[in-house]
Structure 1
Amino acid sequence: MQQPYSHLKTMLWASPATKAYAVVSGGVIPGLRDLLGKSDVRDWDCLWRGALPPEKAARAPYLIELDPQGSFTDWLLQEAGQIYPDWGVIGLGPVSLMAMRDHSRSLLDVLLPDGQRHRWTWYDPVLWASLLPRLDALQLDAAYGPLTDWVVVRSSVWQWFTLSTGQLIVTPRECTPAAAA
């Protein structure tokens, strides 16, 4: 059953304690950092540490606390999803921006079997959606940290990945096409 965008958006804030954080790749959305500086988001921060040269800051991932009433939220979830379908993912939970930033940063590096650490783009929605169902219970706990849900937003389907009592529940929710909404 298809659901209108407004209903799916409301579901992001289904609990009064829940906050919605978008992890967005500056490498996918050009000019993201400048856009954030002018937007109505509640707060945001870069996931890469330290002072970055402009070209690196332009490609960096950003953590954005979405405002349920904000125009940036509507733009990201509707328009950007059409133009830049792989912009990132949304994490849901009763967590502060700083705690979410620390958790998101903890996911940036992976330890390979050869003992080397490598940075990876875990917030790539295709990668994240295919990886989460393959994780064991301990890995899921690490991937979720303080969160209850990860959401991958697509133009036609929003996928909820809910961690409930150690079990991953994947719920696709079809979205009414923007032209028909």
Structure 2
Amino acid sequence: MTENLSGLSALERLPDLLWPGGDADDQQVYALLDGARDPAILPWLERSGLTCDCLYSGELIPRLKAAAPWLVRLPARAPASLTLLDLGWGNAWGILLVAPADLSMDRLRRHCKKFLRVRTEDRRVLNFRFYDPRVLSVFLPTCDALQYRALLGPMRRLVVELDEGTSWRVFEPGEESRDAADQ
């Protein structure tokens, strides 16, 4: 990985990656947060005013609700969006998703839900915390083309923090991943 010549941290460069040119009308940005990473995530989300939805369905007991994965819409450069990036980046709170503007949050949620459980070769069903950047950054590079396309689905881009937030990796359909240093 090459040295960051811009002098800005990965977090400082992140808004330009997510919202190039300011407010991109043709895309929307989401965070998929891992509530189990920090007990402060859900209370912060509930106060933030950001639109969010749990990937788990139905009525949840409070402990499960707090530890659940949450899909959160991040309006372009809105104060709450930037605060969420500031709080979660470097703490493995989750991954960032860039989707077409016409993709509904419900459709994206349903797509992400498909990956919450996986079946092993010996037919056991396991929970798959793909929204943990430490998991996804290792898993996606091992996927074959079909698995890779299936996980990305309708998304334009996945952004995963690396090295405790000092850099990132971008995953896009039909391309190899890019590290922050390559930008």
**Cα pair 2:36 2:66 within 8 Å, conserved:** yes
The residue identity in structure 1 corresponding to 2:148 is L
Q: What root-mean-square deviation, in Å, do the aligned CA atoms of Structure 1 and Structure 2 show?
A: 1.8
C-alpha distance in structure 1 between counterparts of 2:60 and 2:168, whole Å: 33
Give the alignment partner of residue 13 of structure 1, picking from 15, 19, 22.
Answer: 19
* Aligned: 1:115 with 2:106: no
Q: What residue number does 2:153 align with? A: 145
Q: What residue number does 1:66 align with? A: 74
| Matched residues, number | 168
The residue identity in structure 1 corresponding to 2:98 is L
C-alpha distance in structure 1 between counterparts of 2:115 and 2:96, whole Å: 14
Give the alignment partner of residue 163 of structure 1, picking from 151, 159, 173.
Answer: 173
* Aligned: 1:91 with 2:101: no
C-alpha distance in structure 2 between counterparts of 1:55 and 1:79, whole Å: 21
Question: Where do residues 99-110 of structure 1 align in structure 2 (5 Å cutoff)?
Answer: 99-110=107-118
Q: What residue number does 1:135 align with? A: 143
The residue identity in structure 2 corresponding to 1:126 is R
Q: What residue number does 2:52 align with? A: 44
Q: Quote the sequence identity (%).
A: 28
The residue identity in structure 2 corresponding to 1:11 is L
Unaligned stretches of 5+ in structure 2? none
Residues 87-133 of structure 1 deviation map (CA, whole Å, 9 limit, x = unaligned): 11011111221111001101101011122322121111011011111
Unaligned stretches of 5+ in structure 1? 175-181
The residue identity in structure 2 corresponding to 1:18 is Q
Offset of 1:6 from its aligned partner? Answer: 4.8
Residues 121-158 of structure 1 deviation map (CA, whole Å, 9 limit, x = unaligned): 11110110111111111101111010121101353112
TM-score when normalising by structure 1: 0.84
Judging changes above 3 Å, is the alpha-carbon distance between structure 1 residues 2 and 163 closer, same or farther for their aligned structure 2 residues? farther
Judging changes above 3 Å, is the alpha-carbon distance between structure 1 residues 133 and 50 closer, same or farther for their aligned structure 2 residues? same
* Aligned: 1:33 with 2:42: yes
